[in-house]
């Protein structure tokens, strides 16, 4: 349940940077104000949860916030696992100097989730999402189809 917040705070082992620090090498200089705003909102939410824990009790907070959060984290972990691990295919895992943003994007899989695709803004189009994160979610399917002839076996 804490793996995702820990990842946001300190990233994966062997990688530096924090999603909460505006000077992190994850972000361009023009994104610093956005990171400060995001981190401030995150801190306000943590403060609100602490307050609500005292105001209505930790059990009620667990029921209203903790359990839905736990379900969300389980779903996020499952989707992440399915996109980054193949069933029959062997996806390469690059580490250290071998890893690059492009290699990471090309070693993911697209997966369909049926009716859930629309709820998740077509997250099944994972390869194109990794390669071009600036593409708006409602163009991901078209972008994936357009990229298939270029990407070949990587699509």
What is residue 34's predicted lDDT score, i.e. its pLDDT?
95
Do residues 91 and 107 lie in contact, with contact meaning Cβ atoms separated by under 8 Å?
Answer: yes
Give the residue-averaged pLDDT of 132-149.
89
Which residue's structure tokens are 């930790």?
58
Do residues 108 and 130 lie in contact, with contact meaning Cβ atoms separated by under 8 Å?
Answer: yes
Q: What global pTM score does this model have?
A: 0.67
Which residues are CB-contacts of 35 (< 8 A; sequence separation ≥ 6)? 19, 20, 21, 22, 24, 27
pLDDT tens sequence across 15-31:
778 889 998 888 899 99
- Dist. CA 124–CA 114, nearest whole Å: 9
Token pair of 52 as six digits: 């609500």
Spans of all domains in the chain = 1-84, 91-155
């Amino acid at each position: 349940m804490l793996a995702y917040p820990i990842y946001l705070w300190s990233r994966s082992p062997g990688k530096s940077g924090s999603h909460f620090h505006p000077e992190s090498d994850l972000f361009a200089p023009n994104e610093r104000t956005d990171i400060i705003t995001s981190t401030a909102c995150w801190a306000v939410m943590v403060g609100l949860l602490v307050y609500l824990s005292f105001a209505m009790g930790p059990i009620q907070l667990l029921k209203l916030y903790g359990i839905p959060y736990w379900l969300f984290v389980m779903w996020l972990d499952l989707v992440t696992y399915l996109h980054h691990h193949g069933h029959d295919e062997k996806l390469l895992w690059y580490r250290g100097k071998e890893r690059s943003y492009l290699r990471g994007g090309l070693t993911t899989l697209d997966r369909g989730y049926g009716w859930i695709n629309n709820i998740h803004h077509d997250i099944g189009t994972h390869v194109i999402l990794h390669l071009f994160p600036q593409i708006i979610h409602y163009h991901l399917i078209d972008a994936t189809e357009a990229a298939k002839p270029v990407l070949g076996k990587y699509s």
